[in-house]
Amino acid sequence: MSTQIDDPAVAAFINAVNSGDRDAFFAALTPDATMSDDGSERDLVAWVDKEIFTANGRLDVDSVSSDGRSLTATYTNATWGSMRTSWTFHVSDGKVSRFETGQA
């Protein structure tokens, strides 16, 4: 595994998180995107606002799968501090249609 993000949709997602750009984040998603956190379905808008955008979330990628759609990262935000996390992305028509995250 490497740390190179080759999937453009996943790269756009990560760049939006790390720049704190909410508009770019939602532009990287399909309109009907869904997500889960630690195996539980979450309200995407409420979760990203709480866990990413109001808490200064940041993803530091540690490793990426060969297909570019699964990764491990150190996720840091003002609420929880830093933790090792796993992320899996489903992409449709060049945008993230679903992501699943949780502690690694």
Query: Which CATH number does the domain housing residue 33 bear?
Result: 3.10.450.50
Tens of pLDDT along the chain (104 residues) come to 567 898 999 999 999 999 999 999 999 999 999 999 999 999 999 999 999 999 999 999 999 998 889 999 999 999 999 999 999 999 999 999 999 999 99
> Does residue 2 form part of some domain?
no
Tell me how far apart the 2 most distant CA atoms of the chain are, in Å.
Answer: 34
How confident is the model at residue 2, as a pLDDT?
A: 64
Query: What pLDDT is recorded for position 1?
Result: 53
CA distances 72 to 32, 36, 101, Å, are: 25, 16, 9
Range of the domain at 55: 8-103
Among 49, 31, 19, 30, smallest CA distance to 89 is for: 30
Task: Give the model's pLDDT for residue 86.
Answer: 97
Domain count, the chain: 1
Look at residue 91 in the predicted model and tell me its pLDDT. 98
70 belongs to a structural domain? yes
Does residue 48 fall inside a structural domain?
A: yes
Burial, 86: exposed, middle or buried (Cβ in 10 Å; 0-12, 13-18, 19+)? middle
